[in-house]
Structure 1
Amino acid sequence: MVDFLYMTWLGKPVWMWLGFHAVIFILLALDLGLLHRDKSREIGVKESLLLTAFYLTLGLLFGGWVWWYIGPQAGQEYLAGLVVEKSLSMDNVFVIAVIFGYLGIPRNAQHRVLLWGILAAIVLRGLMIGLGAALVHQAEWVLTIFAAFLIYAGIKMLVSGDEEEGENKSADRFTGFMRKHMRVTDELDGQNFTTRRPDPKTGKPVLWLTPLAMALVLVNGADVIFAVDSVPAIFAITTDTYVVYTSNIFAILGLRALYFALAAMVDRFAYLKTALALILIFIGLKIVIADTFELIEIQPWVALVVTVVLLAGGVIYSLWRTRGAAEAPVAVPPQAHAETPRERLGSSHG
């Protein structure tokens, strides 16, 4: 058994992988079983900020262990990766806020969607990182393709227009498809993803999906789309699979807490997307300049500093430009009438 623990898997001993996943399992179990037993309780901004600080502290402590045990180079790469992934996840938060608002998901049900969405995201990110690691280690020129994609994605983000309108149109198409091919209710059934209702044709009780289930699918779909940007970005910083995976997962763990902290002020971060676009372009150029043409060697700490400066600049500038703006609601209040996706589709086509 001891020999097995010291066997190398993806460049690191098995015990390092098992230990990391044990920590993640304990955190998820605490979150699911202890912190949120009361499903009806809403997560406020104060609690959200505390949870965000908690997960960020754990991520930094783990980075300190990586620095001490693996080495300063790996430690710098981990911290740079954590900051980049956390930065890019902020854009994901705003998309999730649009999804919840569109489907009329009340605040006290949103944490359930986010929790299961994070569990699915951990699995999906693991698969995508495994695939990316296999490609990079088989052919290093794949990094150049990653770089070109990141530069393209950053430029596209800079020149894109009103993305919220496009996201609503995508949600329209998705909900229309779901309602055409599956049984979906117009209203929620507590915090259940499914419910039993009579079949319109036979009258017998059958299984129906609720809007909460559609929100879960859309949130997971959004995470996959964002992973297409974030996974190449982290491989642009380091090709150490362990560092890539652990920094990515720690960034995802804090996403649910970060959502409730940021979504209440979603309109205050109007210029954050510009900062995220510049981060993607910088990371892409890092590969082209340093790795492909070997012109300048860019150390991981430089990538970390540039990312922090761009992110902080985007946040501070956004808050300054939108000072005095009223806070935007995250979702339709539970007591208010929320237009259902079916009603919205009907009015848009009427």
Structure 2
Amino acid sequence: MVVPTWAWLATIGGLIALLAIDLFIVDRKPHEVTVGEAGRWVAFYIGCAIAFGGAIWAFSGGTYAGEFFAGYITEYSLSVDNLFIFLIIMAAFKVPRIHQHKVLLIGIVLALVMRGMFIAVGAVAIAKFSWVFYLFGAFLIYTAWNLSKQGIGGDDEEYEENALTRIARKVFPVTDTYHGGDSFVKVDGKRFVTPMFIVMIAIGTADLLFAVDSIPAIFGLTKEPFLVFSANAFALMGLRQLYFLLGGLLRKLIYLSVGLAVILAFIGVKLVLEALHTNSLPFINGGAEVGVWVPNIAVSLSVIIGVLAVTTVASLRKSKRDEAAAAAAGTPAATDESTVAESRGAQSSASDSASPVEPRH
């Protein structure tokens, strides 16, 4: 796929324009994002991604368009699972809901920059060393195994500050309360950082960890850096609106981790098969290529969509049965109870002067 410089510049410029719209229109006045507003923005960003994929189809053909859509759907799906971590972080720090939008925006900008660097390094490594696919494939299969043993929305989930946030607390004096949406303030002539600054560090480092599995996953679907970057960017663009749209519904997707594990395992196996197909390691088949079947993009896209559809339907049915059983027994469903508790934790600081909870170390 030959991508001219103007296409890269136009794509990056368009993404910056979208961020500017989000920043100066949506964030012009801090407010609680309603479900309706979030739904409209999610639809808008999905529409932008579809239009972008259509343009790729028109200029470069269906194969590359299919790779973009497969990558976009995979990254968007992984992002849904990651939203649960965002919920935990927001609740742990008691971020006022009117400022959660700003925190997520900063986190997404940081994620775009970090993933851009990851993609550049990954593209160079793949171009020079085809055996990198063995490593990527093994890593994704290992990640899938770990993910399959986890459940989204578990009652024992609790945020623990990472090393970077702990260092920031030691290096910078931190105020006890939020000061609007400010990250830096002066108190009695002395400069402080606010809990908003610490939250942004927590969100940004979480994004960095998410990129560790998402970047190898999308390279398993396309080797084109342009498609890898654009699919990641469009998936991240609608992420914070999706956060407000789904909210407590995330806990109803109880089989999401299992579904994502299946997808990551499939992509991991696909990477290993591609590595065998282009093998150059002397200790495997004498350094010659191994004639194995490698799933094409149509098969990959079908598997991804099929697994997500089955996972979503099965999750919602299971949640509905659990709620019905809990109602019949005269007790609130565990999913709803945990969602309400979390919602109270996240909203209890509705005013800017709310004091954040110190996360457990």
The TM-score with structure 1 as length reference comes to 0.87
Q: Point out the more displaced range, 170-179 or 238-247.
A: 170-179
Which residue is 1:258 aligned to? 242
1:115 is aligned with what amino acid?
L
Aligned to 1:13: 4
What SS does the aligned partner of 2:220 have? helix
Indicate the residue corresponding to 1:33 in structure 2.
24
Aligned to 2:285: none
Q: Which residue of 1 aligns with 2:91?
A: 101
- Contact preservation (8 Å) 2:145, 2:261: yes
Measure how far apart 1:168 and its partner are.
Answer: 3.3
Match of 1:285 among 257, 264, 269: 269
Please tell me whether residue 295 in structure 1 is matched to residue 304 in structure 2: no
Cα distance, 1:244–1:18 mapped onto 2, change above 3 Å = same
The more displaced of 323-332 and 206-215 is 323-332
* Alignment correspondent of 1:54: 44
Structure 2 match to 1:272: 256
Matched, 1:341 2:353: no
Of the three residues 237, 240, 257, the one matched with 2:221 is: 237
Q: Deviations over 1:20-47 (max 9, x none)?
A: 11211211111111233111x1111221
Q: How much has 1:332 moved relative to structure 2?
A: 3.0
Q: Give the 5 Å matches for 1:145-294.
A: 145-160=135-150, 168=158, 170-171=160-161, 176-198=166-188, 205-292=189-276, 293-294=290-291
CA RMSD of aligned residues (A): 2.3
What's 1:312 paired with? Answer: 309
Deviations 1:135-168 (A, max 9, x none): 0011111011101000000001112478868863
* CA distance, structure 2, for counterparts of residue 164 and residue 189 of structure 1: 32
Describe the shift of the 1:165–1:209 C-alpha distance in structure 2 as closer, same or farther (beyond 3 A): farther
Task: Name the CA distance, whole Å, in 2 between partners of 1:213 and 1:78.
Answer: 34
Cα drift, residue 89 of structure 1: 0.7
- One-letter amino acid of the structure 2 residue matched with residue 53 of structure 1: A
Q: TM-score, normalised by structure 2?
A: 0.85
In structure 2, distance between residues paired with 1:88 and 1:291: 24
Q: Secondary structure at the match of 1:296?
A: coil
% identity of equivalent residues: 34
- Aligned twin of 2:118: 128
Shift of the 221–333 alpha-carbon distance from structure 1 to 2, 3 Å rule, reads same
CA distance, structure 2, for counterparts of residue 165 and residue 176 of structure 1: 25
Which residue of structure 2 lines up, in the alignment, with residue 4 of structure 1? none
For residues 222-254 of structure 1, the C-alpha deviation after alignment (integer angstroms, 9 at most, x for no partner) is 111010000000101111111111111111111
Contact kept in structure 2, 1:11 and 1:241, CA below 8 Å = no
